[in-house]
Amino acid sequence: MNTKVCGITQLKQLQQLDGLDIDFAGLIFYKDSPRYMGDKIAGKDLKNADFDLKKVGVFVNPEMIDVLDAIDDYGLEVVQLHGDESPEMCEDLSSEVEVIKAFRITGDENIDELVAPYDAVCDYYLFDTGGLNESIGGTGRQFDWSILTKAKIEKPFFLSGGIGLEDVAKIKAFRHPDFYAVDINSKFEKEPGVKDMALVLQFRQGFKK
């Protein structure tokens, strides 16, 4: 199971995730998030680090120049757009890095209609829990995944929103031809932005049984 651990704020934890064969690590560049990385990791340290995992910059309704600067300063390989960004922005960024377009799901959306404008302009979708005051993940709440099983989607997608260690069996049972990766965050923390690596390891091992 491809795994993304989001909300990382320490270089040491990035190194640990890389050692656990995590596939993607999310670094939040949204200032209102409790997991905002800010100046907690130096750009040059991140850019020069030799990781197998992909570094994902997470943004919410950013200015284009700020995303391009972060790609350059931190050596980001992937950008996750978690707000109301346009297909045009996704397309412009896709010439620089891989793009994940996130959608916040409340449960009454037509998924295929929701994603259609982005079909040709991003590499992945991510479905997270919506309808809450928080405009970026880490809410600890799940949406009803069955809304996805009814949709075609036709692009690799990340499943996000309130996923914990207790959900391994549920994830194993979830079926969709485009289900690509699981995204974990708040249920694996000691405090916002600091992950419990023992829990992350348990989660990974759960898929090997």
Number of domains in the chain: 1
| DSSP per residue, 13-69 | HHHHHHHTT-SEEEEE--TTSTTB-TTSS-HHHHHH---SSEEEEEESS--HHHHHH
pLDDT mean by block of 10 residues, the chain; 209 residues: 97 97 97 93 95 97 98 98 97 97 92 98 96 59 94 97 96 98 96 97 93
Could you tell me the CATH number of the domain that includes residue 27? 3.20.20.70
pTM for this entry: 0.95
Q: What domain range includes position 196?
A: 2-206
